[in-house]
């Protein structure tokens, strides 16, 4: 095998730089959480109306829970969902609520209700609506305590 002097060093340099960029890019991809302002004011307002129509009779007007329904904001709720994702929360809600007709709302309606729940839990609002896609919502962690 014939090697030319000086050809390996430049290749190693290119490999090192490209590898460094990949590692650097991964470091910049910090996971999102509910503390990053992931829903808009308008979306939470739409969700409040929907919550009143479809959820409050069981979960209470202040999301405090009822005889047969758990609270949807506050300490117990936060403890139950801490460490999971908004995608998990959306899918659980979508397949089981409203109790008398699970899955009967549209995806945008479920997401708007989720935005209202976040506002009610005192998580910060942002500039954009919460995404509707479960895959995107799975990238947003439900973290009960502000980091």
How many Cα atoms occupy the beta-carbon half-sphere of 82 within 13 Å?
Answer: 11
Helices marked H in 29-105:
41-54, 56-59, 75-81, 86-96
CATH superfamily, region 33-141: Cytochrome c-like domain (1.10.760.10)
How many Cα atoms occupy the beta-carbon half-sphere of 46 within 13 Å?
Answer: 14
C-alpha 60, offset from chain centre: 23
What does the domain layout of the chain look like in residue ranges? 33-141
pLDDT tens-digit map of 111-144: 999 999 999 999 999 999 999 999 999 999 999 9
Whole-model pTM: value is 0.80
Note whether 122 and 77 are within 8 A (CB): no
pLDDT tens-digit map of 32-56: 999 999 999 999 999 999 999 999 9
Gap between the Cα atoms of 69 and 73, Å rounded: 12
């Amino acid at each position: 095998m014939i090697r030319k002097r000086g050809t390996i060093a430049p290749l190693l340099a290119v490999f090192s730089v490209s590898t460094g960029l990949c590692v650097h890019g991964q470091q910049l991809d910090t996971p999102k959480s509910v503390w990053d302002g992931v829903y808009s004011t308008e979306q939470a307002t739409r969700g409040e109306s929907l919550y009143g129509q479809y959820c409050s009779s069981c979960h209470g007007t202040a999301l405090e829970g009822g005889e047969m329904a758990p609270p949807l904001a506050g300490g117990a709720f936060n403890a139950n969902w801490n460490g999971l994702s908004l995608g998990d929360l959306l899918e659980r809600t979508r397949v089981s609520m409203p109790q008398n007709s699970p899955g009967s709302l549209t995806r945008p309606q479920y997401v708007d209700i989720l935005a209202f729940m976040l506002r009610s839990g005192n998580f910060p609002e942002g500039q954009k609506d919460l995404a509707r896609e479960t895959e995107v919502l799975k990238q947003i962690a439900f973290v009960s305590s502000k980091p």
